[in-house]
Structure 1
Amino acid sequence: MAFSETTAVAVGDLTFDVRHAGPDDGTPVVLLHGFPTTSLSWSPVVPALADAGLRVVAPDQRGYSPGARPADVAAYATDRLAQDVVSLADALGLDRFHLVGHDWGAAVAWYVAAHHGHRLETLTTFSVPHLAAYNAALAHDADARERGSYIGLFRREGKAEDLLLADDARRLRAMYQGAVPQHLVDAYVAQLQEPGALTAALGWYRAMTPELAGLPSVDVPTTFVWSDDDLAIGRAGADACGAHVSADYRYEVLEGVTHWIPEQAPDAAAAAILDRVRGVDPEAPRPI
């Protein structure tokens, strides 16, 4: 079962496009996409989750939904992105839920777990480790700094948009490394070519602040999945991730897989999510 419907969900002055799958009374799992993708990035993963009886909720996040594109860069600060997740859960009647994120969606998921962990049953993240581990790697590991050098460009207003959208978004399309199905690439690019969309998506990078490096540890049962052909995220930060999780922690490495795990390795991604969701001990204490 793929996504069955898309609904518009209002959160304050913003309206988010949210894709759904699975039974309405199923165990809820919220999927957060990264850059430069949309909630469609989870399409290859969703059938396994829905068939397992999960209620799948996948929003196009702030900047990606046309009704949620504030002009101010400060509107894309990570704490606001995390609050969007909690507010969307409130709007959908989800008291507690399983949270999954890839790339920037993983970064937001780590923030939610660190500051709103009482709302989560479990956490599963792909590619981006806990932000304290990632930032420590940027500070001390040459390989991590080289892999993350693109961030400086993305933070330059106007320059990144011009480069990425030139020649029918040739450089933007190249970022997917040939690992993402063409129909998904076309869908991502079309959405990011909408007026103001790419600037809004890049706002996530431009609103980053130094305190993300000091993100608290999380006390939520967590699985982190990294792939060894990831051009953006190196091993140093990935290997250090577990030091920032005080609950049950699983670390998986996918060999020969690029950064684009949900699209390139959907079976492995779905298995990691399902194993984590099914592995919850209902008697275990939860953060308050």
Structure 2
Amino acid sequence: MPAAIQEGQYAPLPNGTRLHYASAGEKGKPLLLFVHGFPEFWYEWEVQLAEFGGEYYAVAPDLRGFNLSDMPSDAAAYKPRHIVDDLRLLAEHLGYEKFVMVAHDWGGAIAWNFAIALPQLLHKLVIVNAPHPYLFMRALAGDPAQQKASAYMNWLRAEGSEAALAKDDFKMLESFLNGLGQSPTPWFTDEVRKRYHACWARGLTGGVNYYRASPLHPPTADHPGPLRLELKADDFRVRVPTRVIWGESDVALPKSLLDGLDEVVDDLRVTRIPEGSHWVIHEQPARVNDLIRGYLAD
């Protein structure tokens, strides 16, 4: 029987940020922390919360800048180190010293940084379609195909992108989730659309500020981007047991971003889903749940 999901919970953190979160299960059981991406919110993990709330305390926050969490106005407040700190303090607020993190997209980017900086806090890391920062930096700096695939990042960084995303009842933003201009995706039902529109109506600036605050983007004349290849791969080494789920039909994050991952992650297993897109969590929730469960039992 699926576990009941409780919404409307808030964590006032010592750094001044207040995060909203949803949860399933009992506090005191092992913590599974689910971290969403852009342009989503905690609801991305609804199926996972219901699935794992029986054996775990499954928690999915709205990251700062999204939905019901605080939305600082300064783009600098969205640098990865601040989001990492939010997640560390959230776990502490919940009463946990160590936990498993499951993350997708921007949440995955933050999770990689978390594992690199604070490995002692993680039992395991599960990543869904989110590139390791060193490999992504390398691809953005030197791979024309990746630069082209990631050109949208520079568009999102530009002033006024949030207004363009909200135009015509979030038409462009909705297209990101609903087929990317191709055939509609079955999972994007009227109820899901209603939930996402309610989230987006609360504000989009926080979400696009993740792109504005990040040094990782394709180079332009005004912003050279991630041309910092003097950094060493070992500076980004992940020593936490890591499991990766990758939808290989991801348009923005191609499977080539997995190349070399075993060189920067000590304990790695990758599961590829050839037909899965960037939104494989929604497309194949039962399969994703089975994979997560198998990883937890490793």
- Normalised by the size of structure 1, how large is the TM-score? 0.90
Shift of 1:3: 4.9
Residue 106 (structure 1) aligned with residue 108 (structure 2): yes
Change in Cα spacing, 1:8 to 1:56, as seen in structure 2 (3 Å) is same
1:185 corresponds to which residue?
A: 193
1:161 corresponds to which residue?
A: 162
1:20 corresponds to which residue?
A: 23
Unaligned runs of 5+ in 1: 280-288
How far apart are the structure 2 equivalents of 1:131 and 1:211?
13
1:10-64 per-residue CA deviation (whole Å, 9 max, x = no partner) reads 113221111111232321110000000011001122232224x011011001101
Q: Of residues 240, 246, 263 in structure 1, which corresponds to 2:282?
A: 263
How far apart are the structure 2 equivalents of 1:108 and 1:203?
14
1:192-246 per-residue CA deviation (whole Å, 9 max, x = no partner) reads 122xx20111111100124998561110000111111111101221233222102
Check the 8 A contact 2:67/2:200 in 1, yes or no: no
Check the 8 A contact 1:134/1:238 in 2, yes or no: no
How far apart are the structure 1 equivalents of 2:260 and 2:197?
33
How far apart are the structure 2 equivalents of 1:86 and 1:23?
20
Partner of 2:82: helix, strand, or coil? helix
1:206 corresponds to which residue?
A: 212
Matches within 5 A, 1:1-288: 1-6=2-7, 7-12=9-14, 13-51=16-54, 53-158=55-160, 160-176=161-177, 177=179, 178-179=184-185, 180-182=187-189, 183-194=191-202, 197-209=203-215, 210=226, 214=231, 216-246=236-266, 248-279=267-298
How far apart are the structure 2 equivalents of 1:225 and 1:261?
9
1:157-208 per-residue CA deviation (whole Å, 9 max, x = no partner) reads 21x11221111111100001233422223312321122xx201111111001
Q: Quick one: which amino acid aligns to residue 188 of structure 2?
A: P
- Normalised by the size of structure 2, how large is the TM-score? 0.87
How far apart are the structure 2 equivalents of 1:166 and 1:2?
37
Unaligned runs of 5+ in 2: 216-225
Partner of 1:258: helix, strand, or coil? coil
Q: Quick one: which amino acid aligns to residue 87 of structure 1?
A: L
Shift of 1:67: 4.3
How far apart are the structure 1 equivalents of 2:3 and 2:41?
15
Deviates more, 1:213-222 or 1:78-87: 213-222
Structure possessing the higher relative contact order (Cα contacts under 8 Å, 6 or more residues apart): 1
How far apart are the structure 1 equivalents of 2:49 and 2:259?
28
Deviates more, 1:182-191 or 1:106-115: 182-191
Q: Quick one: which amino acid aligns to residue 188 of structure 1?
A: Y
How far apart are the structure 1 equivalents of 2:165 and 2:3?
30
How far apart are the structure 2 equivalents of 1:233 and 1:3?
33
RMSD: 1.8
1:84-117 per-residue CA deviation (whole Å, 9 max, x = no partner) reads 1101001111110001100000000000000011
How far apart are the structure 1 equivalents of 2:58 and 2:143?
37
Shift of 1:255: 1.8
1:240-272 per-residue CA deviation (whole Å, 9 max, x = no partner) reads 3222102x2101111211101221111222122
1:282 corresponds to which residue?
A: none
How far apart are the structure 2 equivalents of 1:258 and 1:212?
30
- Tell me how many residue pairs correspond in the alignment: 274
Deviates more, 1:210-219 or 1:125-134: 210-219
